[in-house]
Structure 1
């Protein structure tokens, strides 16, 4: 019987077509992330300049830029911009960047939108040590910031040790963090009850959070730390994406899970500790910056840098409102708290409805 040879079927174009669609979607997602991040950076820079323009003596944007970079010849403008307004504006920018970045690292690492330094004991640990140093030891200025930094690091270590059970899960970490946070808040309340009027007033101002209270040393330390930590975060961002897939998948991809988790968490804790030591526990900034950035850049994209700029925008805007939009000046933390409280209520309702709390 003769064997009839048939021509092989022509290669299908489905696979190359599907590949091109995936590549195109990836490029669009990356373009959106870059575009949104650049827009957020521009808004943050505009607010940074605007903070130094407004006051009893108005300065033009061009004068602000020239004075900031040392090109302004008018001594009065140099004094107003560089000596009076630049430290506050730089503090607001740096604190916002640090809190926004720290918050999104916590949320992605623990896979929970409630995983914020506000709730897991880090900020309250810093507050307890700072208030204790003011009331019990009569510390001032930089020493208070050092005490806050130590408190934040010790609180994070305590939560991590208590939450460890052959690994870390977001739900257990957050619950233990809330318990530790309440313990430190109760301690802060007790210390305040033992303080005299002057120390109590100073401690309460610090507890609310205000960018204008930072000293030159604290601001320099925060800026240098941001310059060092930001590249580290983006080097570890790929490992963060792997950890979000689960420990087993991350190990299969070659990630050293616990080492990466500890490194990322330590980075986030250092950022929030330094920011809190500089300006106090600015309420809700770390909680809301990440989700806003994630919505803007879209799902599946890295929102780390976008979250940092959103945090800076929130703090800069809150400081402008606190200083210039109200009948009397208020600490910056009062405005961030007023912004964040409704968001927290909405988040709790939506998380409970969608079953994402654990």
Structure 2
């Protein structure tokens, strides 16, 4: 075989690999979208009363369905929409941090950003007695301030992932202690509301939460998806990314700001639903393959985790539980398994 034929053969093989990767990515996205829609429907249908598909779709179409309009349209539908949007936000935010920092452990709920949003929101609930948009803005400010603090503490001319992870874990411990201090200083009713919120719950979700969260998921999520190719280059290392023309500092700043906005807004709406940010990225990457950053699949995985956990929380235990309890039960063992796997491969350094 001549050199020319060898090059042609290699290019043909590369095109084949790319086509297969693209086909797999499309199939995974379609399957995850279908799963999310199925869980969305099941979460609407099942409860103390089961409603058949004709009634569910009738309510969704805006029809007046006696006996189902209020239960589905006013109680279940906003809860399920908030859970879906929060799951998308958690999944995309977590995956963005993990990809940018090239470390599966670098999830916002591990490196302290969720803790910062939690502290700000608890102060808003207990001290300021805020709710709605004000609480969302305060949680967002807390998350952004924590991200800035962690980045500043870990800065060594470049954003050092291992140093950021360690600094984030330490800052998270301090912020969690501050949150506990604020909690014990509140009155009984505020403590109960804040504690329920900290567990991660969709019980108080209503239509007032939906427009704001939907707008933020679109406004922050779409630009984050547009940065996917540059985030992919960052996985090669900062020096290599600069040589390939990526404005590393600008891209990192944009990813951090957009991801924290997504995370904080979802946290304000539903509370810090445990481990969704941490688990969504690795699951999406395993399904999609290593070809490109799986930000969109991670969002759908996050939505599926939240919806499935909400269904389990409502119907499996003897009494209804907050959705964060179920994700915590799932996520704890998953975190231990991942840490054992990473330590065996020696990828912590």
Which TM-score bucket, shorter chain as reference? Answer: over 0.9
1:145, distance to aligned residue in structure 2 (A): 3.2
1:252 to 208, 222, 243: 243
Measure the CA separation in 2 of the matches of 1:22 and 1:10.
18
For 2:209, the equivalent position in structure 1 comes to 218
Q: Deviations over 1:111-153 (max 9, x none)?
A: 0000111111111111112222222233345443333222112
For 1:55, the equivalent position in structure 2 comes to 47
For 1:23, the equivalent position in structure 2 comes to 15
Q: Secondary structure at the match of 1:43?
A: helix
1:138 to 129, 144, 165: 129
1:230, distance to aligned residue in structure 2 (A): 2.7
For 1:154, the equivalent position in structure 2 comes to 145
1:215, distance to aligned residue in structure 2 (A): 4.1
- Aligned-residue RMSD, C-alpha: 1.6
Whether contact under 8 Å (2:229, 2:292) holds in the other structure is no
Whether contact under 8 Å (2:117, 2:143) holds in the other structure is yes
Measure the CA separation in 1 of the matches of 2:122 and 2:2.
76
1:45, distance to aligned residue in structure 2 (A): 0.6
Q: Deviations over 1:186-210 (max 9, x none)?
A: 0011112222222211111011111
Q: Structure 1 pair 10/263, CA: closer, same or farther in 2 (3 Å)?
A: closer
Whether contact under 8 Å (1:145, 1:218) holds in the other structure is no
Whether contact under 8 Å (1:141, 1:215) holds in the other structure is no
Q: Secondary structure at the match of 2:251?
A: helix
Q: Structure 1 pair 18/181, CA: closer, same or farther in 2 (3 Å)?
A: same
Pairing 1:301–2:299 present: no
Give 1:34-113 correspondences, 5 Å limit.
34-70=26-62, 72-113=63-104
Measure the CA separation in 1 of the matches of 2:245 and 2:114.
33
Q: TM-score, normalised by structure 1?
A: 0.93
* Large movers: runs of 4+ above 6 Å: none
For 2:317, the equivalent position in structure 1 comes to 326
Larger CA Rg, structure 1 vs 2: 1
Whether contact under 8 Å (2:221, 2:262) holds in the other structure is no
Q: Secondary structure at the match of 2:104?
A: coil
Stretches of structure 2 lacking an aligned partner (at least 5 in a row): none
1:212, distance to aligned residue in structure 2 (A): 2.4
For 2:220, the equivalent position in structure 1 comes to 229
Whether contact under 8 Å (2:205, 2:269) holds in the other structure is yes
1:336 to 322, 327, 333: 327
Measure the CA separation in 1 of the matches of 2:217 and 2:133.
18
Measure the CA separation in 1 of the matches of 2:218 and 2:66.
30
